[in-house]
Amino acid sequence: MDVTVFLKAIPDPAGPPESFVFDNGRQDTSRVPFVLGPFEENALELSLRIIEGTGGSLRALAMGGPEQDKPLRTARALGAEAVLRVDGPSSWADPLVTARLLSAGADRLGRADLYIAGRQAGDWDRSVTGALVAGLRGLPYLCRVFDATAQDGEVRISQEVTGGVRTGTLRTSAVLSVTNAPTTVLRIPNVRAVLLATRKPVDIVHVGSLLGDTERVERLADDWVSPRRLGRAGRRVGGDPSDVAKALVAELEEQGALPGTGT
């Protein structure tokens, strides 16, 4: 069973706070350390388990700037035969743009039986890209998958559902989103494989050559840059905890974000 996994590097949640800088409504990511998103780690591990059980091949795909090369190299170190970065609007792009680009990028990597994503991105937590890819490709969508076992050429999938777990055999091509569980903790790659993966460049394709309308894609992405929509950059409040609380309440009141306030 051939698998294409969608990966995303996100700003390291454990990174130094001073590395996060907003300037004129834009996040300056030049000093931000990036790491593979937690649910993408789960997606990658489940993908590896499926190809190991079925004897298929793995391809990995990410979208954004060079910061996205690292997770692709991790995937390569763990056995991905092909990796591709869609070079274009990065994590700020709206989900439909992202889904269209990822789906088009997946076509470049060749047909897969399964398309696997993390449950949600670890930075914006939108949780929709996998479903949108499924919609664009006309495939069923199975969300919150946490286990997969291969048997007799078939894959049994376990999903978290309301009130419990649903398990079934997958007999069709599909898009899966993967959640965190002991079964989806990403293995540590071998250092030698990591070094070999680092030495090889990542294949890159530009959005313009995928969708043929770069300007529209970039405009869409720009429109959805969240700090711009807020109208100004974030503000950090420090000092005495009681003063911090008062300042936060005042800020939320000013934005009309508290019940009974604003317009």
Q: From the list 15, 65, 79, 189, which residue makes contact with other proteins (rule: CB under 8 A)?
A: 189
Distant-in-sequence, close-in-space partners of 169: CB < 8 Å, separation ≥ 6:
154, 155, 156, 157
Based on the shown chain and the rule CB under 8 A, indicate whether residue 260 belongs to the binding site for other proteins: no
Which region among 96-104, 124-132, 210-218, 238-246 touches other proteins (by CB under 8 A)?
A: 238-246
Distant-in-sequence, close-in-space partners of 204: CB < 8 Å, separation ≥ 6:
84, 85, 86, 87
Based on the shown chain and the rule CB under 8 A, indicate whether residue 164 belongs to the binding site for other proteins: no
Based on the shown chain and the rule CB under 8 A, indicate whether residue 199 belongs to the binding site for other proteins: yes
Based on the shown chain and the rule CB under 8 A, indicate whether residue 229 belongs to the binding site for other proteins: no
Neighbours of 65 (CB within 10 A): 16
CB closer to other proteins, 180 vs 198: 198
Which region among 120-128, 193-201, 212-220, 225-233 touches other proteins (by CB under 8 A)?
A: 193-201
Distant-in-sequence, close-in-space partners of 170: CB < 8 Å, separation ≥ 6:
114, 142, 154, 155, 156, 157
Q: From the list 30, 240, 259, 260, which residue makes contact with other proteins (rule: CB under 8 A)?
A: 240
Q: CA 122 to CA 217: how far, in whole Å? A: 23
DSSP state string for 118-184: ESS-TTT----HHHHHHHHHT--EEEEEEEEEEETTEEEEEEEETTEEEEEEE-S-EEEEE---GGG
Q: Which residues within the stretch 72-101 sit at the binding site for other proteins (CB under 8 A)?
A: 73
Based on the shown chain and the rule CB under 8 A, indicate whether residue 241 belongs to the binding site for other proteins: yes
The two three-digit tokens of residue 67, written as one number: 């910061």
3-state helix, strand, coil in the chain (%, to 5): 40, 25, 35
Based on the shown chain and the rule CB under 8 A, indicate whether residue 188 belongs to the binding site for other proteins: yes
Q: CA 131 to CA 121: how far, in whole Å? A: 13
Q: From the list 151, 169, 190, 226, which residue makes contact with other proteins (rule: CB under 8 A)?
A: 190
Q: From the list 192, 229, 235, 236, which residue makes contact with other proteins (rule: CB under 8 A)?
A: 192
Secondary structure class of 223 (helix, strand, coil): helix
Distant-in-sequence, close-in-space partners of 45: CB < 8 Å, separation ≥ 6:
178, 183, 184, 185, 186, 187
CB closer to other proteins, 2 vs 67: 67
Based on the shown chain and the rule CB under 8 A, indicate whether residue 198 belongs to the binding site for other proteins: yes
CB closer to other proteins, 192 vs 235: 192
Which region among 124-132, 143-151, 190-198, 255-263 touches other proteins (by CB under 8 A)?
A: 190-198
Which region among 24-32, 124-132, 133-141, 237-245 touches other proteins (by CB under 8 A)?
A: 237-245
CB closer to other proteins, 153 vs 241: 241
Q: From the list 164, 239, 259, 260, which residue makes contact with other proteins (rule: CB under 8 A)?
A: 239
List interacting residues with other proteins (CB under 8 A): 73, 188-195, 197-199, 239-241
